[in-house]
Amino acid sequence: MAVKKIKTVYDVVCPFCGTLCDDLEVDVADNKIIEVRNGCQIGTKKFFASNPSEHRYEKPLIKVKGSFKEASWDEAIDKAADILVKAKRPLLYGFSSTECDAQSKGVELAEILGGILDNTASVCHGPTILAEQDVGVPTSTLGEYKNRADLVIFWGCNPVHAHPRHLSRYSEFVRGYFRKDGRNDRFIVVIDPRNTHTAQIADLFIQVNPSEDYELLNAIRAILRGVELDEKEISGVSMESIKELADKAKSCNFGVIFFGMGLTQSLAHHRNIDAAICLTRELNDHTKFLITPMRGHYNVTGANQVFTWNTGYPYSIDFSRGYPRYNPGEFSSVELLLKDQIDASLMISSDPASNFPAASVKNMFKHPLIVIEPHQTPTSENADIILPPAYAGIECEGTAYRMDSVPLRLRKVKDAPKGILTDKEILEKLIEKVKEKKGE
Ligand code: SF4
């Protein structure tokens, strides 16, 4: 039996979550992933998902009388361009699990079509961006936190499950230049309504009432200013615990707040983040303190960056007047779909059918739907046209932005299935065809 030749690719960046771990080692034989070292379970699974399987699309598909039929690229692109050109208000959504050049092509296509351009920030850290635009943000890189932070607060996030290697690479167990004893040199606080697995390994767990983070943040700010609050507890947290936390924060050498969707998507939304940023800023009267969002999709930060370079705005952009207008809430995908104001959609590298409200998904499925997606999802299964791309960061190179806005180069570790195009190439073909149909 012939011995398989194994190629090992080093320093691979994991294209799954916003931690963008850049130390993976991937073994490839016969153009298949056979081993991934250093990755966590969810990151490793994505590499294996790129191997041929019954769930992977390897040809463009067009729905004819309720079932998918294989099509040539020319035919599928022509039909997709037809749908987009005929639509009065097409939505282009997703973009957070692909690389920056493809995102830029998405902006170009949305502008040519006069459509709506949105990315997944509109359902995750959009409120973070709104708050940062309002009050600025004192922030830094994950490397700084690794080397310096001795107080780490996880607020409304659960990295043990959502960003598994964040703790061992940057925030909890890792040894840093000034934190030589790793975990023993750090005090970890978790603030969350749920007793999560991250809470269970913290030094201090503060269980806040659901959707009462805003009150707690402002209570800490008041205590820092020396205000005596005439209450026994706030947001379900005793005054003693709030004072203990304020003292810990004031007396550390270098503190950081990492926050997640527990803060961005609970009742006060961007006002929570506004208060968290102001708290961070005020803590700098006592010590060094910074704040960083725990971004989910591996390149959602890149999507915000690329949209902003091109249009001035990070998400929820409307091109219907020929120039970009920004108004989250009015031009956000979920709201537009709920009001049934979209008459065709192009979904790229995302699965809105799995996480948008049912009523908006129902309206999305009423109108023509094109997806650029490598494998079966609830969105793709209900599409009219499926354009299957190569996996960015596995089957093609590109750039992605880590959660702290540090850009990293994604590596190619294997070839895409024969004939498969990259996200960027598919979007370029769509742009060309749309221009042709519009006579531009
Ligand atoms: S923590 Fe995130 S980036 Fe790192 S290996 Fe796991 S999924 Fe990939």
Domain annotation covers residue 15: yes
Residue 103: which CATH number? 3.40.50.740
Do the Cβ atoms of 349 and 98 come closer than 8 Å? yes
Q: How many residues does the chain have?
A: 440
CA-wise closest residue to 255 among 160, 129, 138: 138
pLDDT score at 4: 76
Do residue 131 and residue 258 come from a single domain?
yes
Domain, as residue range, for 425: 61-123+298-437
Q: How confident is the model at residue 1 (pLDDT cuts 50, 70, 90)?
A: low
Q: Is 80 exceeded by the pLDDT of residue 372?
A: yes
What the block records as the tokens of 362 is: 């129902």
Q: How far is the centre of ligand 1, averaged over its atoms, from the C-alpha of 38 (Å)?
A: 9
Domain annotation covers residue 28: yes
Question: Which of these three, 268, 293, 318, is where a domain ends?
Answer: 293
What would the 3-class secondary structure string for 320-369 be?
CCCCCEECCCCCCHHHHHHCCCCCEEEEECCCHHHHCCHHHHHHHHHCCE
Ligand 1, residues at Cβ distance < 6 Å: 14, 16-17, 19-21, 39-40, 42-43, 163-165
Classified as helix, coil or strand, 161 is: helix
Domain annotation covers residue 102: yes
Residue 219: which CATH number? 3.40.228.10
Do residue 302 and residue 233 come from a single domain?
no
Q: Whose CA is nearest to atom 5 of ligand 1?
A: 39
Do residue 266 and residue 336 come from a single domain?
no
Cα dihedral across residues 41, 43, 44, 46: positive or negative: positive
Domain annotation covers residue 56: no
Do the Cβ atoms of 415 and 427 come closer than 8 Å? no
Do residue 147 and residue 268 come from a single domain?
yes
Could you give the number of structural domains in the chain?
3
* Residue to probe by mutation, ligand 1, list 21, 258, 403, 411, most atoms within 8 Å of CB: 21
CA-wise closest residue to 320 among 108, 81, 89: 89
pTM, two decimal places: 0.96
Residues with Cβ < 8 Å from 65, sequence gap 6 or more?
A: none
- The residue-averaged pLDDT of 419-433 equals 98
Q: Is 80 exceeded by the pLDDT of residue 3?
A: no
- Rounded Cα distance, 155 and 384, in Å: 41
Q: How far is the centre of ligand 1, averaged over its atoms, from the C-alpha of 164 (Å)?
A: 6
Q: How confident is the model at residue 440 (pLDDT cuts 50, 70, 90)?
A: confident
What the block records as the tokens of 413 is: 């570790």
Domain annotation covers residue 55: no
pLDDT score at 422: 98
Q: Whose CA is nearest to atom 8 of ligand 1?
A: 43
- Read off the pLDDT of residues 4-28 as tens digits, 9 standing for 90 and up: 799 999 999 999 999 999 999 999 9
- Rounded Cα distance, 92 and 414, in Å: 29
